Structure formats: C-alpha cells, structure tokens
Structure 1
C-alpha cells in the first residue's frame, strides 16, 4: 500500500502537543522525510513499470502490417465470418503479446514502408488498450533488416564510428522516450533483427565484432536509461542451428555485448532440405535448452511461421514449438510469437501467414488456445 502524508498523519500513534520541543520537532522532520522518500520511490517505480506485465507464457504476434492493411480496406472477420476488431480476434485466439518493428525513416510503401516512431507509438497504444504485452523490434534501418541485409539508415550514411554510436543511442532513446510519454514501457526490446552477420553494415558486421558489440551496447544502454526493467533481446535466425547460435553468442560473450534474452526465429519452410517441421523441432528444443544453460539467459521464439495453405500442419508445428519452449528448464522459456499472422496472401503475397483471404484466421491460430 502506498503511504502518503495524509494516511500517515491519520494513523500515526504519536501526536505531538508541543511542536516546538526539539526532540519532537526532529521526529516530525524525520517522519516527513521518510514519507517523501517513500512517495518518490513509488512514483519512480511506477514510471518504469512494465506495461501490462504478467508472468504468463507469452503467446504473441508481430502485426506491424496492420495499419497498412486497414488503410487499404482489408476487413478482418472472426471464425464465424463476422467483421470484428482485429485485436479482439487475436485476444479470443489466446494472443497476449504484440511485437512491433520500428524503422528510422521509412518510406510509404505498402509492404516495405511505414513502421515509423509515430506509428509504433500509436500501435503500442492500441495494443495496451487490449491488455497486450509489448515487444519493440529495432531494425536500425529504414526498411527490412535480416540475415540478407542490414543496410544502415540513409541519415546515418557517411558518419564516422563515434557518430554512429551516438546515432544508435539517440535514436533508441528517442523512440523509447516517446513510448514512455505515451504510457508504454515495453516488456521486451530487440537490439537488431535477425543479426547473424551483425547489423548496421559495414561498421557493425561480424567481421568487426568489437564494433558490433559497442553498437549493441549503445542500444542496450539507451533502452535501460528510459525503461530499466525492459528486457533486451538479441535475435538470430535458424533457431534449430545450435552451431550458429553457439558461435555467435560465444563471440558476444567475449566482446561483452549486453543483453537479457536470446531470441530465435524458427521457419521450417525456409530450412534447406527440411521444410517438414518434424525433422527440425528436436534440434530447436536442444538449442533452446543449450542457450538457456550455456549463457544463463532466458530464451524466446520471437518469430515463427508456417504455410497458410497448410493450416493443420502449421497448427501442429505451433503446438510443438510452444511445448518445446515451455519445457526449457527453470522457466527460462518465455514464449512464442507468430510473424505477421494476419498478413493474408491476397494482400501481402506472403505464404506464411495464418489468415485466409476471406479475412478469417485459419485453424493454425487455434494453436495458441492450447494449454
């Protein structure tokens, strides 16, 4: 319970009759000081409180395409075919977490633009209103950053490394501050998106790990300066590839890169020679367990997806992935997030959504209802 001056005065056992008495006066001053400190501490704790935090297993979705889909007239319908608020449909399917990518100076392109600071804040507010937990994904680019490309923002081109470090800190701090001013302190924040080769090329390439670690740490420091309780994620693709993860995180450890959670992508569809998830799911489990034990970190599948044309198979895969994450020892498996489940093929031309062209979620989304 918060102790305030009023409630304390009403409940105080000692009521002075002579406030000029030096002992009594000093006692009153000490009590007043203690109350002030308690109030300040409570206000400070509230400032940094994680938005909609819960200890429940995270069942989430990256839905950064949503504003564009709505703007182009795509209608979302529930399983009964009735048009409904998209967030309600997600919530009814068991989703409790929303992931949002953010780009520095994006274009207005329908599929490869948007996701500005302002749009990220607006989307986070919508998610908060529906009681969702929030993850922010800093790409540190004006568009897609992934294993194939990590192009630095145009505004940062030509900057020397010292200036680039300041760019990362200032930009990250600015987005986090804008979120906080809107009442949002994300539970998780990614520094970089799918960074097996590094980020912000060429300076942040794995060819120069000391510089990559410095860039990561600037992002980490900016996040913690605004929201100390937010957990920072470093994120690689091919979540079933233990050799890839060990090499990268061993380097991160040696170079003293700072982070709290190891994030993994898992897309059987893209794995060479093994699009059938049953051929790689046990490798995913082994890697999850190894990462948690080897680095003493929490782990999370921050991106997953399966073919929208094979909803039963995607459903089975999602159930299996959630089970594997939940089985990570010591409750270090935090959750599973689907990447753009609502990105129906007719709109996105993306084959791995969990939504039909009729506007309804496919059976795959029912996997998040499984206990």
Structure 2
C-alpha cells in the first residue's frame, strides 16, 4: 500500500493533467465545463427538431454537406436553445411530443454543444397561446387549489429531471403568450388574483430548483405598449413574481411590415425595462421564409432594438422554429429552404 505522501503526489499530478487538458479546450466545446455565457442571447426555439430527425428530415450546409441542425445554427451565431414543454402530449408530428423526457434529451444535447437553455412551460397538452390556454386533460376537473399544486409540481418535476442530468436552464417561462391568462377559466385575466397565484407557483418551483434561474412572463404583439402596460400594471398590483418580460414579435401576424412597427417595439422594450425595472427579451420572432432579405432585415432590426435598451436590460432575441422548413411543418415563418439548407436570413445573428 502506498503511503499518504505518494497518494497525494499522484492526485496532484492527475489534477494538473486534467486542468491542463481542460484549459486547451474551448469552453463551448468542453463537456466538463458549463456553457460559456455570452452577453447577448441569440436563440432558436427548436421544439420540432427531434421529430424532424425522427421522420428522416436531413439538414445541409450551403455547400451541400449534411450536418447536425444545431451545428448549423451555432455556425450562424446561435448560442441559446428554447424548448417548449407540454404536460401529456400526443404523438402528432407537428402538434405533439415536447414531453418532459424528450425535453431533457434535447436540452442535454444542446448544452453539450455549448448552448444556453430556456424552458417554456405551456401548462397544456398542446399549444397554448392568446387564443387557447386549455388545461391539461389530467387537470381538467381539479379545483383551483389543486391547480396551484399542479403548476408547482409539474414545473418542479421537469426542472428536477433536467438538473439530474446536469442541465440548469438560464431562463424559465411560466406560461406561453398569456395576455388573457393561462389554465382557463380559473387562470384567466378576468380573475387576476387567481392568475397571480398560478404564476407565482411556477416562479416558486423554479427558484426552488435554483434561485439564479430567471423567470419570464411572456406576451404576444411586442409592439403593443398599451397591451403590455395593462397586463404588467395588473401583474404588479397583484404581486406577480418574475424577473424578465418576454415578448413575441411577428410582423406577419400583425399584418404590417416590420418597418411600420419596429420603432413601437423598441419603445415598448425601453418602457417595460424602465417602468417595471425588469430585463426584457424577445423570446419569439419570425419572418416569412420566402422573403429572405426582408426577414434578414427584420431580424437585424429586432436585435438592434433589444440592444438599444439602456443598462444592458435587453437580454436577447430568439427565433421561433427557424429549422421548421415548410414542406415538413406547414409553417411559413422559418428560415429554412426546401433543399434542407438554412437561408441567409439567419446570418443576422452573426453580426
């Protein structure tokens, strides 16, 4: 048996070896180190990606080389991945999946590539947005008190599963596009007191996992200052707890070119940051896939608007499903071409 001095010497040599090896590997490529945190988040929501791969969809670089979609995104400046979570989703190609288990696998994969992670809780079995905030089927007959427990437990459960594999998201969204509230009818904005309690349960569960995770509350139509003031004035009056105001910005759905609304978006970002003393972030943005130059310019202008928020309170911009090419998804606001290659619209993230 070696004496204590010999054992100490061996341990010291081994420690120096690993320290030396790690120092030679860039942080964003080293699985032994956490992802490098960049100042500005340039992101992609890629909830469809696992299904696209499972159905055989192939991704190619501009030179025709087949590549991992995440690598293609990273090569264009993307450093953040946003993933939606549904409670008990079905297996529909475009409107299902995104379960806890699938989210854990995808988040770990993205983190290993040096990506920062955002988790978007819909608190539904499928899409939740301004027009629909349906309770998960398993929660349909629950009392309001039970719904509070449901929100806490579901949030805590998903984040615990992520933490177990070494992933702690940088951001967590409590609800998705909720200008009318969530978990209708109990969590509707017609009953702010109850909505506030539900949002706070998501906040509390998140902070119980890690107090450093930033909690986002998210609305659509980021250019509409009146909508945002109304919502967040009510949130303040009802003591809603959150860290970041998340905004969607889709000129296509507003039915105006971005040039008509980008100033309103910038002004709203600045107003939210100052009025509520919060950080702000575009958590969803999108432009038409077949109007590449316009989408590029819109994205560049959106990034510029967020960076213009004083005191570094503009955190970043996330493109929603850039890889969701229309022939597979039926969605017209991706940045992918029919030949499986990314369009130059994504190059706005390189700047």
- Give yes or no for contact 2:36–2:114 (8 Å, CA) kept in 1: no
Count of aligned pairs between the two proteins: 322
Which of 133, 145, 153 aligns to 2:128? It is: 145
String of CA shifts for 1:297-317, please: whole Å, max 9, x gaps: 000000000000101100000
Q: Quick one: structure 1 residues 77 and 287, their matched pair in 2 at CA, closer, same or farther if it must change by over 3 Å? A: same
1:348 aligns with 2:329: yes
Q: Which residue of 1 is the match for residue 271 of structure 2?
A: 290
Question: 2:98 matched to 1:115?
Answer: yes
What residue number does 1:224 align with?
A: 207
User: What SS is found at the alignment partner of 1:280?
Assistant: helix
Residue 3 (structure 1) aligns with: none
Match of 2:65 among 76, 82, 86: 82
Partner residue of 2:282 out of 301, 316, 319: 301
- Residue by residue over 1:160-213, the C-alpha shift from the partner in whole angstroms, topping out at 9 and shown as x without a partner, is 111110011011110010000010000000000000000001100000000000
Partner of 2:258: 277
**SS at structure 2 position matched to 1:303:** strand
Q: Distance in 2 between matches of 1:79 and 1:125?
A: 27
Of residues 128, 136, 139, the one that matches 1:156 is 139
1:88 deviation in Å? 1.0
Match of 1:203 in 2: 186
- DSSP-derived class of the 1:206 partner: coil
Which secondary structure does the structure 1 equivalent of 2:193 belong to?
A: helix
Match of 1:165 among 128, 148, 152: 148
Which has the larger Rg? 1
Q: CA offsets per residue over residues 86-134 of structure 1, 9 Å max, x none?
A: 1111110000000000000000000000000000000001101100000
What's the counterpart of residue 31 of structure 1? Answer: none
Could you say if the C-alpha distance between residues 51 and 252 of structure 1 is closer, same or farther in structure 2, counting changes exceeding 3 Å? farther
Alpha-carbon distance between aligned partners in 1 of 2:151 and 2:60, rounded to the nearest angstrom = 40
The equivalent residue for 2:55 is 72
SS for the counterpart of 2:104 is helix
In structure 2, the gaps of 5 or more residues are: 10-32
Partner of residue 329 from structure 1, selected from 295, 310, 316:
310
1:312-337 Cα offsets, whole Å, 9 max, x none, are: 10000000000010010000000000
Measured in 2, the distance between the counterparts of 1:160 and 1:135 equals 30
Say whether the 8 Å CA contact 2:42–2:77 is kept in structure 1.
yes
Please give the residue correspondences for 1:43-62 in structure 2 after superposition, counting only pairs within 5 Å.
52=35, 54-62=37-45
| Preserved CA contact (<8 Å) 1:299 1:332 | yes
The structural deviation recorded for 1:51 is 5.3
Residue equivalent to 2:344:
363
**TM-superposed deviation, 1:81:** 1.6
- In the other structure, the counterpart of 1:175 is 158
How many angstroms does 1:52 deviate by? 2.4
Q: Normalising to structure 1: TM-score of the pair?
A: 0.85
Look up the match of 1:258: 241
Distance between the aligned counterparts of 2:309 and 2:128, measured in 1? Answer: 29
CA distance in 1, matches of 2:64, 2:123: 39
1:13-32 correspondence runs (5 A): none
Q: Does 1:135 align with 2:118?
A: yes
In the superposition, the TM-score normalised over structure 2's length comes to 0.90
Query: Separation in 2 of the partners of 1:53 and 1:136?
Result: 18
Distance, in Å, in 2 between the alignment partners of 1:284 and 1:344 is 27
